[in-house]
Amino acid sequence: MLLSEEYMLPCLNKKFLGIECMGCGMQRSVSLILHGEFTAAFHMYPAVYTLALLIGFVLLNSFKNYKYASKIIITLAIINVILIVGNFILKFI
């Protein structure tokens, strides 16, 4: 059990419906990254690194506008959707 796990928000979807949502594992994955367990974080939530890349690029682009920023953001968003939905589907197989 991670030290900060007692302070994490519960998944209401899992609590009331009994099935995990598409975001289940994200908090624990970020906690694993903060504890230096990078491989375990990827196994917990595979989209954690591409989401960080997307958020980082959007923040960076808000300070300095890049020429192809919209294409990069759309591409990263599509990659994230594929990873998140794919991981969600694989949980039920």
One DSSP character per residue, 62-77 reads: HHS--TTHHHHHHHHH
Question: Structure tokens of 26?
Answer: 């994200």
CA distance 29 to 52: 12
Q: Please say whether the beta carbons of 15 and 9 come within 8 A.
A: no
Q: Which pLDDT value is given to residue 47? A: 94
For the stretch 14-52, pLDDT in tens is: 888 888 888 888 988 998 998 899 999 999 999 999 999
Q: pTM for the full model?
A: 0.81
Average pLDDT over residues 58-81: 94
Average pLDDT over residues 60-73: 93
